[in-house]
Homo-oligomer: A and B are copies of this chain.
Amino acid sequence: MMKKKEHKECMSALLPIRDTLDVIGGKWKILILISIWEGNKHFREIERSIPKLSTKVLSKELKDMEENKLITRTVLNGFPVRTEYAPTEYSKTLKKVILELYNWGVNHRKKIFA
């Protein structure tokens, strides 16, 4: 059995993993990020690019992503006022993580269906 101290260390080592999963986990986050990376800028564009994604959920996820510095939200003057979303340079640091998830998943399908 893990000893108390080791266990506590172990738990604190897990926090960053939890953080990352909070940022990219769930059903929509990676989809939305990819949609924005692909060049979709406006709320309705992003919404239309992802089937079954509700307005309410997209709105919440975009706020989270802005807080996590993955996207910027710019309100453009004009009539009508338009809001644009753009990926940050920082968001690109997730590409390596997503690639690892992708590669493992591809291999896992082979393993499970072998």
Residues of A within 8 A of B (CB): 1-2, 6-7, 10, 13-21, 23-25, 30-31, 34-35, 38, 40, 45, 48-49, 68-69, 90, 93-94, 96-98, 100-109, 111-112
Contacts and interface: CB of A to CB of B under 8 A. Distances in A.
Contacts of A23: 108
B97 A101 contact: yes
A69 B114 CA distance: 12
Contact of A101 (B17, B40, B105, B112): B17
Contacts of A98: 17
A74 to B, nearest CB: 19
Contact of A15 (B6, B105, B111): B105
